[in-house]
Structure formats: C-alpha cells, structure tokens
Structure 1
Amino acid sequence: MVCGGFTCSKNALCALNVVYLLVSLLLIGIAGWGKGYGVVSSISVIGGIIGVGVFLFFIALVGFIGASKHHQVLLFFYMVVLFLLFIIQLCISFYCLGMNRESQETMLHYAWERMDNDTKTDVQNNLKCCGFFQKETYDCPKVCSTQQCLDCGDLMLQHAAEVLHVCGGVGLFFSFTEILGVWLAARFRNQKDPRANPSAFL
C-alpha cells in the first residue's frame, strides 16, 4: 500500500525531521566531546562543527513544526532551504568522489597553511608527524624528538582518498534524503487536512 494519505505524509515528514534533529544533536555533542577530551583544541574547528549542528537543528525544527501544524509558510521555507542544501551537498559530494591526487595535495596544503597553531599542534600530536612537507619550518611535537617522524602531508595524503570517498558517499546519501524531504514537504503542503473545514482554503 502506497503512503499517499494526509496522516502518512505528515508522519513521514515528522520522522525525517526527527532524524535530522538527532544528527544535529550528535554533531554538537561530538564537537563538545572533542573539545572536552582534547582531541581538537582549535576554537574555529569546534565553532564550525557546532555552527553546522545548530543550523541543521533549526532547519529540522522548522520542518517538524511545519509538518505537525500543516503550516504553509514554514513548509515553503523548509522546502527552499532544503533544496539549496541538496544542490550544494550534491556538488560537494561529486567533487569529493572525483578528486585526483594532485587536487588532494593542493587542497591539503591550502588547508594546512590556513590552520591556526593549535590545530596544527593537534594534527602533529595525533598523527605523530611534523610539518606538512617542510619539517624545519615548524615546531615538531615532543614525540618527534625521540623517534623518526614523517611529514604530516605524506600521512594525510595516504588517507585522503579513503576519507574523501567515505565523505562523498555519505554526503551523496544524505543529499538524497534532503530531496526526499523536499518532495514530502511539497506533497504534504498540497494535501487537504481531512479534519479541517472542507470549505477552508489550503
């Protein structure tokens, strides 16, 4: 039996937004955990993750309220924002999946040069490496004084392809859940609430 009724569409849209709410809380929790346990000490990285989590939380909240109350304006706003996120995420996912090694090296070098010192120190301590490709220009972590350390660039490039494929695949999967949310919201907006006054305007 196809889910075509008002109640089924409403429940499906609410369930999708509950999943988004849980993912947003997970992002915020992971950022707090990383800061609390000293995995990442950079405020900019923590702030970025928390910002994405808070943004997703509010979008999911708008979608959930719009679905539960059949609110036309909130559902329209939710559809527009989710469709824009779908386009952006789809493009980024394809870029991650299609990136070659030269592009990976350029991207990593660009990111390394713009990292603050706290983030560089975290990377060097966690990977037990020193510098990007120039050890002499960076303060190496203490662990490198007692053993031979590789360049951080070499270590990051070893894992870059795998990480990019995983990120691209996960992003591609979630982009299709977003287009599903747009479709559900558009469909639900045009359905008449069977409990409402039959002569009321949608």
Structure 2
Amino acid sequence: MGCAGFTCSKNSLCALNILYVMVSMLMIGIAAWGKWFGLVSSFQVVGGIIGIGVFLFLVALAGLIGAIKHHQVLLFFYMIILFLVFVVQFSVSSACLAINKEQQNELLEVGWNNSRTTQKDVEKSLNCCGFSHVEVNVTCPAACFTHSTCDTCAAKILEHVGEVLRIVGGIGLFFSFTEILGVWLTYRYRNQKDPRANPSAFL
C-alpha cells in the first residue's frame, strides 16, 4: 500500500520535478512570447517572470539530478530551498485570497505609479486613461482618448482584479501543497537505502 519503496519514491520525485521543469519552461515561454508580440513592453515585468521561471527551472533540475543519482547533498539543499519557496508561496497565495477591495486599490495605485511603461500597456490594452481620473493634458495611447470618452483604468481593473487574485491565489495554493509534498518525498527518499547499492556502503 502507498509509495513506500525506494523506486516508487525516486519515480515520484522525478515526476514532480519534471512537472516543475515544464511549468518553468511555460513561464519563460509566455513571458518571452508576450514581449516578442508587444503585449507587454515593461522589461521589469518580463524580466521578473523570466527570472522566477529560471529559478524554478534550476531548483527542479537540482531535484531531478539529486533524485536520479540519490545525491545526498543535492537532495538536502533542494529540500531546504523547496521548503522556503513553499513558505513564501503559501503566504503570498493566502494574501491574494484574503485581500479586500480597499487594499486592492492601494496596491494597484502603488504599482501604477512605479512604472510608466506598465501604465501605457494597461491603457492601450484596456482602452482607458489615467488611474483614478483622466488627465486631458497628458497623452494617452488608448483609442478612446481621441474621442474624449475614456473611463479611468482603476474602474476597469477593479472589475476583474478580485477574480484574478482568486485564480492566482488558488493556483499558488495548489502548487504550494505540491512543494510540501516534494519536501516530504525528498526527506523520505534521502533516508532510504538503494537496494542495488553495496549493503556495506555508507548511506
């Protein structure tokens, strides 16, 4: 019953890390695609997503090599890093699910004021101008600006931000539990003896 054997633990850990490799490649690919087709012009946003994808890829690669070779040191560091990622991701996911409308508005305004390129991306894609009020003496890339019929971006963003935060929080929470599963599998796998190894060899 269950997955108690050495081979089963090894295969489960390999499968989990292959899933992480696929997710990391997907993140890097989507960020690069968005930049290539001009959907996102902010280098900070694209660089941040690609950076997270590369980090996840390296962690998953370390876990995969450690699982295949039953490498004690790699598995130990993989387990520690995965636990730290779990703590951060669980906290962020819980915050996404718990945040109220007023806090959403404050965070959006801070993010809006930090990057002019992100403002332009949002104004163009959502066809809106300004965050809380439309400024007529400032140029706006939105199509509605020429007709002077633009809504504020805060109004349009807040229509969907609650749903987006619930989806992101739910996905993050799901993956955080796969990470704690990975920590548990790694801990157990590290303490199992390879049946094909020399019985007198040090574990």
Instruction: Please indicate the TM-score interval, normalised by the length of the shorter structure.
Output: over 0.9
CA deviations on 1:126-161 (whole Å, 9 max, x unpaired) are 000001012217422251213611100111111111
The reply on whether 1:26 has 2:31 as its aligned counterpart is no
Conserved? CA contact 1:72–1:189, under 8 Å: yes
Secondary structure of 1:135's aligned partner: coil
Tell me, in whole angstroms, the C-alpha distance in 2 between the residues paired with 1:2 and 1:100: 41
Conserved? CA contact 1:130–1:138, under 8 Å: no
Q: Which moved more, 1:140-149 or 1:69-78?
A: 140-149
The reply on whether 1:131 has 2:138 as its aligned counterpart is no
Conserved? CA contact 1:31–1:46, under 8 Å: yes
Letter in 2 for 1:149: C
- The CA RMSD over aligned residues, in Å, is 1.1
1:49-198 equivalences under 5 Å are 49-115=49-115, 117-136=116-135, 138-144=138-144, 145-146=146-147, 148-198=149-199
TM-score by length of 1: 0.97
Conserved? CA contact 2:82–2:179, under 8 Å: yes
Letter in 1 for 2:31: A
CA deviations on 1:91-111 (whole Å, 9 max, x unpaired) are 111111111110000010011
Q: How many residues align?
A: 201
Tell me, in whole angstroms, the C-alpha distance in 2 between the residues paired with 1:200 and 1:134: 71
CA drift at 1:2: 1.4
Tell me, in whole angstroms, the C-alpha distance in 1 between the residues paired with 2:66 and 2:157: 43
Tell me, in whole angstroms, the C-alpha distance in 2 between the residues paired with 1:93 and 1:43: 24
Could you tell me which runs of 5 or more consecutive residues in structure 1 were left unpaired when the two chains were aligned.
none
Conserved? CA contact 2:128–2:142, under 8 Å: no
Tell me, in whole angstroms, the C-alpha distance in 2 between the residues paired with 1:138 and 1:91: 39
